[in-house]
Amino acid sequence: MPSTAWQRYIASFCPYGIMITVLISYYSRSGNTRAIARAIAKGASEVKGVKVRLKSARNTTLSDLKCADAIVLGSPTYYGVMAAELKDLIDRSVAIHGSLEGKVGAAFTSSGGVASGAETTLLSVIQAMLVHGMIVQGYPEGQHYGVAVVGDPRGASVKLCRDRGKRVAELAIRLSGRQHR
């Protein structure tokens, strides 16, 4: 149960109370980015005390963004940047500009090929997150900027997605100052 007045105030607007909420929002035309989103969601949900919400960008509301402790956004690589459908969510978020500050952010993409715009797509998402004042954690090994998969995730890349989901959830818990052991 929420313990402080502030936690009770937040809980009155956000449905998951004091659970750490990881929102995964994505656009996917042919299912590859959706498959990455699901694998990231699986990893994040393995962290105790975390509630995962998985939504299409179109169905993501501004309240969903405000109530999340971590926001993970995914898009197919389209000409080296995010798809217009995800950009639309980011552009809608101007209405709550300032209220995403300090939330954890992370990005993922599915591309058609290797080194054909995936990293610039991740950066296009991260750029918007930084404008919002969000906290984006890099990764010292492997994929530094976020999850990039060619096509849909299989084998080792499924593990990579799950691990990244877990990492995002753990950072959100660390920054919240709460312990879930």
Ligand X SMILES: Cc1cc2nc3c(=O)[nH]c(=O)nc-3n(C[C@H](O)[C@H](O)[C@H](O)COP(=O)(O)O)c2cc1C
The residues binding ligand X (CB under 6 A) are 28-33, 76-80, 110-113, 116-117, 151
Residue showing tokens 């498959």: 35
Q: Are residues 122 and 164 in contact, defined by beta-carbon separation less than 8 angstroms?
A: no
Q: Least Å distance between CB 151 and ligand X?
A: 5
Choice between 21 and 109, CB closer to ligand X: 109
Choice between 25 and 33, CB closer to ligand X: 33
Q: Least Å distance between CB 168 and ligand X?
A: 20
Tokens of 61: 């509301």
Q: Least Å distance between CB 141 and ligand X?
A: 23
Choice between 7 and 30, CB closer to ligand X: 30
Choice between 84 and 94, CB closer to ligand X: 84
Q: Least Å distance between CB 67 and ligand X?
A: 25
Choice between 150 and 171, CB closer to ligand X: 150
Largest CA distance in the chain: 51
DSSP alpha helix (H) spans, 46-111: 62-67, 84-92
* Sign of the alpha-carbon dihedral angle for 13, 171, 102, 88: negative
Taking alpha carbons only, the member of 103, 40, 41, 106 closest to residue 66 is: 103
Taking alpha carbons only, the member of 122, 121, 96, 109 closest to residue 150 is: 109
Q: Least Å distance between CB 8 and ligand X?
A: 40
